[in-house]
Amino acid sequence: MKLPRLIITVATLLAVAVFSPTAFSNDAPADSSFFELEDLVVSGEASAPPVAGSTKISAPSVTVRDPGSLADLGGLLPSVRVATNSRGDSHLMVRGAPERHSQAFLDGIPLNLPWDERVDLETIPITGVGRLEGRRGLPTLLDGPGVLAGSVRILPPRLAGLARRTHISLAAGENGLSRVGLTHQRMAGSWDLLGAGSWNKRDAWPLPAGNGLRENSDLEQYSILVRGSRPVGGTGRLNLLATGWSGEKGVPSELHLGDDARFWRYPVRKRALFGASLAIGHGEWDFTSLAAADFFAQEIDPRGPDNWDQPLSEGEDYEKGFDRTGHAQLGVTRWLGAHNRLSLQGNARFTQHREQLTFGGPTNSYAQWLTALVVEGERRWAEFWSLRAGAGWDHAVTPEAGDKTQTDAFDAPALNLRLSRQMSPRSEAYLSASRRSRFPSLRELYSGALGRFVPNPDLRPERQDMVEVGLTAQGSDWHFTSAAFLQYLDDGIEKEKLAGPDQQFVRVNRTRIRLPGVEVAGDWRVRPNLEFTGQHTILAARVQVDGTYDQPAEDRPDYLSHWAINWSGFTGPGALIEAAVTGPRWSADVSDDLDGLTRLPASVRWNARLSWRWEMGGGWKAAGTELEAHLRLDNVFDQWSDFQVGLPEPGRVFSGGVMVRM
């Protein structure tokens, strides 16, 4: 079915089933708020409007999960799965889409590594985090290029009137699990200053079902973050950020491959980010800008545990990669009344990746320019109708291609329409349609991935067409959001198994991938200290073969669910019980001689947490000092579940710790 026909069909259904003759006026539409939040700082992003398909996770909801990294929090967002691949990287998969269709941002700065167009969430420390915001779908083109399925944004906290605040956390658990975190925030004149550091370590993850320890699953990482923010001109804000982390990480082998599995590790992983953003409001005009520099270094040792402590010899396989990236963004918005606007935004990114595949061998250099220009307008009329329309152009060119054949430049248009109607002061229905493309990453085009992949410089851009209809509503103590969507991905890039004894893959453009889905999410605060949250998503991804959609798409689960009950008060006992369900899915399997795919069963993981909180009175210019002790049990029933074939999730893990807030 073509995109225009889909738009007409869904619009008709929406008009008949949802739009009622009764409407109410409200200047603040309920655009899928999900949690009550503290005030936010300007984060250097364009003046994007409130978006549908948005879920906000407050600081208390983050803290109660005792996270070591962003990978521990992604599953809290509706329609999101965090999966670890054979390289040991944990990725965000929104609505079943490939991980390269989603972006992560830290205070407005992109975190996806341009070489691969994705990022290992386990390497992103939760240091100095105030809250998270997840977005699903493509509600606005102002999110930037590469955001097809959604995004997750890490934003800092505010002091909320306090002179200073300090947060200390200590945790320890089985198999050498250790975490230390320190965050201090204070006012210095007009500056809101924040400094944070953390240390995260484990010796190994346990295998599920009491099968011992997962070999080569160790991790150790240090991180530091410094941030300053101040108002500018009364209505603007300037943000400055510097952060970095350094660590070492093992990569567990694929269990089903036995002696044929690769056994390697990251002896070096370092990253440094520097960013500045400025937002200024001047009457009917808003101006935003962002500039950031990103430096990344990584080493991969594939020699196996018997050789990791041996000196390297000339010509041995040993990969070193170095990345440097610059980001720039400029935006201007002209307000035409209280609700009507016209926005223009430009994005530019330059990245250079240098890699050495053998010790002492030659160094190849790859580079790419990625630019995007977007114009988006929004108009409200008749008090309760609103239309958002955007158009853009994305462009990519690779001036350096190492020792490979250079590809031609990529160009693609971007379109987005969103029609909404306010149903009551706190509810809204919407219909949206969009088109956007994703260009192949440098790694997809040119990298052999340590011999596992054959490079394919002939890859074409992926193009996604999507329509979505949804409803958001909230009451005094509950929130609810639902959506139905249909995506068509033309030239979707998928792995294809090659014939021969080498068990290699090649990335190819599939004919077409269809993904219909339905999602619901909500929360209900039953009592002031008792909250219930739940979400459920149903997906049915299929690849078109010979004109019919009958072949499964890789790593798209049939359904996803997350349910939690959180009981907590200002003092005294607290408890959290949560369950995460992942439906059956097809996973890549080089040992399968038929189509390279194996069906994985559904799985459910239960987590539990008990805590006790003490209020220790005021002091040190703060509202008071709080002490909390907790015990945590992840994967309570020690159930076996796989991220991918041969890559099990951790078994049962017991931990405990204390947190002090001053």
Count other Cβ atoms within 10 Å, centred on residue 548: 9
The number of domains in the chain is 1
Tell me how far apart the alpha carbons of residues 144 and 343 are, in angstroms, rounded to a whole number. Answer: 13
Taking phi over 0 as left and psi of -120 to 50 as alpha, with beta for the rest, 529 belongs to alpha
The sheet with strand 109-110 has its strands ordered as 54-57, 131-136, 150-155, 102-106, 109-110
Could you count the other beta carbons within 10 Å of the beta carbon of residue 18? 15
What residues form DSSP beta bridges with 402? none
For residue 628, what are its two tokens?
Answer: 């909390």
Identity of residue 9: T
**What is the Cα–Cα distance from 417 to 141, expressed in whole angstroms?**
10
| pLDDT tens, residue by residue, 384-430 | 999 999 999 999 999 999 988 888 999 999 999 999 999 988 899 99
Hey, what amino acid is at 503? Q
CATH code (residue 226): 2.40.170.20
Cβ pair 497, 507 in contact under 8 A = no
Q: Per the confidence metrics, is the pTM higher than 0.75? A: yes
Could you tell me which residues are beta bridge partners of residue 403?
Answer: none
End-to-end CA distance of the chain: 59
Q: What is the pLDDT of residues 102-117, one digit of tens each?
A: 999 999 999 999 999 9
Which range marks the domain in which residue 108 is found?
3-661
CA-CA distance, 40 to 151, in Å (whole number)?
18
Provide the 10 A C-beta neighbour count for residue 336: 12
Q: What is the DSSP string of 257-279?
A: GGGGS--EEEEEEEEEEEEEEEE
Distance, CA of 83 to CA of 596 (rounded, Å): 19
Mean pLDDT by 10 residues, the chain (662 residues): 37 32 30 28 37 76 90 90 91 91 93 94 88 88 90 85 89 96 94 95 96 95 95 90 96 88 92 96 91 97 90 92 97 91 97 94 95 96 91 96 90 96 91 96 83 83 96 92 95 80 78 93 92 96 90 91 92 95 90 82 96 75 78 97 94 96 88
Residue 452 CA, distance from chain mean position = 26
At 363, list the tokens.
Answer: 């160094």
Give yes or no for a contact between 36 and 132, defined as CB atoms under 8 angstroms apart. Answer: no
